[in-house]
A and B are shown apart, each in its own frame.
Chain A
Amino acid sequence: MRTVIIEPVFESWRQSARNLLALRVPPSDVLWCEDAQEPTLFGLENETLPRVAVPNVPSAFLDMARSVASHTDARRWSVLYRVLWRLTHGEERHLLAISTDSDMRQVQLWCKAIGRDIHKMHAFVRFRLVGNDEITGREQFVAWFEPEYRIVRLGAGFFEKRFAGMDWSILTPHECVHWDGSAMHFTPGVPRSAAPDDDALDGLWRTYYRSIFNPARLKVRAMQAEMPKKYWKNLPEASVIAELIAESGGRVEKMLTTESRPAKPAPKNAYLDSLRKMNTLASPSLPSTKGS
């Protein structure tokens, strides 16, 4: 049994996996360990790597592995290596097509969790205006976000495409990303206190959130399924959720007891007259539907 210590990032795993593959080390003989401080190729360092070509694997596998690397489950390195081994040495070149295989299924579930985390980042980042660049005059925005996994690099491209016309930074506990109009830069994570707390527009946004809510259709569970509570502390609109829920019963009650309004007579209006005239003329042909 070999112990392989890697940095918990894709490139580090990839390097070690290529070496192990070249030495034809089967997955059952490898113990994968993470150590950001002391990544070594312990277990491999005394061996001369044979100069053999690393077998090609489908690019879909590399995409999946890159995504899974951002997960936090400690088993991911060994499962990835096992899938890699089966693809290359296990005569299971079709493994990626078999979602019912337990290794493949596990990899897919990890990918799904990462995809969801990235999606939530795209949805729930809230930029706050902090000023304008003194020279270019460009607006500058800063956001604070707490992803579940280390997905900043995977998710940042979306913001570059969408917000190219403004300067922005997204700060997270793991890693930060900055855009200045020409390139993205990545810096280490920062604490929450480094980001601004609010924005002058938050009040208007809460006004909108209150008004778009329909109290007659209260479905709190459906809301929380898509917007779990863990995100609420960084969403300006979340502070009014409790009161909207509490008020909804009374608001519906009030509607039910409001007296119905009779129809008012139509005002004098040339356009309404023309509509009435059109309605009395033969209608254009209407595709028939049975029973209508």
Chain B
Amino acid sequence: MELQQKLEILADAAKYDASCASSGAARKDSRGGKGVGSTGGAGICHSYAPDGRCISLLKVLLTNACLYDCHYCINRRSSNVQRARFTPDEVVQLTLDFYKRNYIEGLFLSSGIIRSADYTMELVIDVARKLREEHHFRGYIHLKTIPEASPSLIELAGRYADRISINIELPTQEGLTKLAPEKNLARTQDAMGHIRNKIDERHADNRKPGAPKPLPFATGQSTQMIVGADDSSDAVILRRADVLYGNYHLRRVYYSGFSPIPEPSLLLPIKAPPLVREHRLYQADWLLRFYGFSVDEITTDAVPNLDLHLDPKLAWALRNRAVFPADVNKASRESLLRVPGLGVRNVNRILSARRYTRLRLADLLRLRVPMKKVMPFIITADHNPARLGLDDEALRARFLPPPRQAELDFDTPTAAASDIDSVRTGEM
């Protein structure tokens, strides 16, 4: 098979993995070396596809042949998709060729599972080893690992990779048993625990002076959950994410709306991807990680799913009006982070500026704060929202989309450009 045809099949096979980060690696570069490559900055998106997703890494499978039968996956053994397999050298050469043209930040390598977990891991590791040792490649490498692979192989993968990941795919064992019968939640979390220990151990900053430098190891791990394939609520998904962040220190949990595939399974009829729901989950994830919210504040037993019409911080604020208004000239950082329309950066600017000046509405306008959104929730030197009727039941209605829009099918992409931007920057 021609290289081009392999690339066509094996990139197509990899595109349902949402992970794209190329940030958070240890600082290294090619100066004084024999090859190319640098990492350690913010990560760069070298292109964007018309699906709005960033392209930063050459994301391919080594092979899309697979023993497993995960029904959401185009590469499951029951699918009739055309199969292909790269040789390790082909992936190495493609990575270097693409990298030198500045198309990419590095390689994201995954694989269908063939023969056994260890056999597959060895093939994947061989690519990374060749890049690092034979070609002195110092760009970004993300390796997908298999929970059942030997710990020694996961350790080897971590030595060559900047990031390693295991996809948890679904938040509950019941979901996995039904849709991904070979996968096991406990084994996945176990493997994440081992990886976390390795990361902690190798990057501990309490090394004694003169102690030998530990072997290199990836600086972080991430995972992905598919949204909308099983019937898990947002509360279940976010609680799982919270466990993963808390217990295993994941850098990122990616949420991937279950998307139609050309080879649908009888067990899992295809439907339009839940893009707005996916977007709300990312916003909720940001609230957990950067805004001091807990899962139980974002989703409740009574309302286990996020509001598709309102961003989760605004929805929380409307449920908790008693804590507002917050005085931007006095309120704590924690309180300001909870004001709808104030992102982390603007909260930092407000805290810095108010040491020297009394903030007024015009000051917030200059920071490009969305005024209509924040005004019912804040006090400034020249504004008190009492006269806006903060307790008015009509407040929620102010923030809902106009009726015509509310009838739109929310399974189709309707997130506003500003929403998309907020996912990227984390500004709410």
B35 A210 Cβ-Cβ under 8 A = no
Measured CB to CB, the closest approach of chain A to B11, in angstroms, equals 4
Set of chain B residues within 8 Å of A100, measured between Cβ atoms: 349-350, 353, 357, 359, 363-364, 366-367
Q: Is B14 an interface residue (CB 8 A)?
A: yes
B54 A291 Cβ-Cβ under 8 A = no
Closest residue of chain A to B113 (Cβ to Cβ) is A271
A208 B35 Cβ-Cβ under 8 A = no
Closest residue of chain A to B275 (Cβ to Cβ) is A217
Jot down 8 A-B pairs with beta carbons below 8 A, ordered by A: A98-B357, A204-B7, A212-B15, A212-B59, A217-B53, A219-B52, A252-B260, A285-B186
Closest residue of chain A to B115 (Cβ to Cβ) is A271
In the docked arrangement, what's the CA distance between A122 and B9, Å?
Answer: 29
Given the known interface contacts A97-B356, A161-B38, the answer about A166 and B100 at a Cβ–Cβ threshold of 8 Å is yes
Q: Which positions in A face B, CB cutoff 8 Å? A: 94, 97-102, 105, 119, 122-129, 139, 141, 143, 158, 160-166, 199, 201, 203-205, 207-223, 225-227, 235, 237, 241, 244-245, 248, 251-252, 254-256, 258, 260-264, 266-267, 269-272, 275, 278-279, 283-287, 289-292
Q: Is B302 an interface residue (CB 8 A)?
A: no
A223 B34 Cβ-Cβ under 8 A = no
Q: Interface size for chain B: under 10, 10 to 19, 20 to 34, or 35 or more residues? A: 35 or more
A219 B50 Cβ-Cβ under 8 A = yes
In the docked arrangement, what's the CA distance between A237 and B45, Å?
Answer: 14
Q: Is B372 an interface residue (CB 8 A)?
A: no
B50 A244 Cβ-Cβ under 8 A = yes
The segment from B197-205, B233-241, B318-326 found at the interface with A is B233-241
Measured CB to CB, the closest approach of chain A to B82, in angstroms, equals 12
Which DSSP category, helix, strand, loop or mixed, fits chain B's interface? loop
Given the known interface contacts A217-B273, A267-B77, A291-B239, the answer about A258 and B263 at a Cβ–Cβ threshold of 8 Å is yes
Set of chain A residues within 8 Å of B44, measured between Cβ atoms: 119, 122-123
Q: Is B78 an interface residue (CB 8 A)?
A: yes
Q: Which chain B residues (244-266) contact chain A, with CB distance < 8 Å?
A: 247, 257, 259-266
Among B47, B243, B275, B421, point to the contact of A287 (Cβ < 8 A). B243
Given the known interface contacts A126-B102, A143-B102, A213-B49, the answer about A163 and B36 at a Cβ–Cβ threshold of 8 Å is yes
Set of chain B residues within 8 Å of A165, measured between Cβ atoms: 30, 33-36, 136
Q: Which chain B residues (80-98) contact chain A, with CB distance < 8 Å?
A: 80, 94, 97-98
Set of chain A residues within 8 Å of B4, measured between Cβ atoms: 203-204, 207
In the docked arrangement, what's the CA distance between A214 and B54, Å?
Answer: 12
In the docked arrangement, what's the CA distance between A214 and B185, Å?
Answer: 28
Q: Which interface residue of A141, A161, A222, A266 has the most chain B CB atoms within 10 A?
A: A222
The 5 closest A-B pairs by CB, nearest first: A222-B52, A219-B52, A100-B363, A211-B11, A161-B29
Among B79, B235, B421, point to the contact of A261 (Cβ < 8 A). B79
Set of chain B residues within 8 Å of A254, measured between Cβ atoms: 262
Given the known interface contacts A100-B357, A208-B7, A218-B413, the answer about A291 and B235 at a Cβ–Cβ threshold of 8 Å is yes
